[in-house]
Structure 1
Amino acid sequence: MVNSDQFIAVESCHFSYLHIRLCFVLNCFASVETVKA
């Protein structure tokens, strides 16, 4: 049985990681678009 508090903590960590990755990709893409423009 998984402790729900522990599960929530893991999920929020995972979400934060994905959010950081997404921001990084979007920033890179924005930089490339700026250079091309």
Structure 2
Amino acid sequence: MAQLEFLIGVAIVDGLLLALIQGLTIVGIIARNWRK
């Protein structure tokens, strides 16, 4: 069970990091288009 909880924790953190990277990428694209 401890391993399952660890895997769930890793999946959540991985998902948050992925969402953060995608969010920054989207913000970067919008910022570049906004300046033009």
Common fold: TM-score over 0.5: yes
Measured in 2, the distance between the counterparts of 1:26 and 1:15 equals 16
1:16 paired with 2:14, answer: yes
- The unaligned stretches of length 5 or more in structure 1 are none
From 14, 18, 33, the counterpart of 2:31: 33
- Which stretches of structure 1, 4 residues or longer, exceed 2 Å deviation after superposition? none
- The unaligned stretches of length 5 or more in structure 2 are none
- Count of residue correspondences: 35
Measured in 1, the distance between the counterparts of 2:12 and 2:31 equals 29
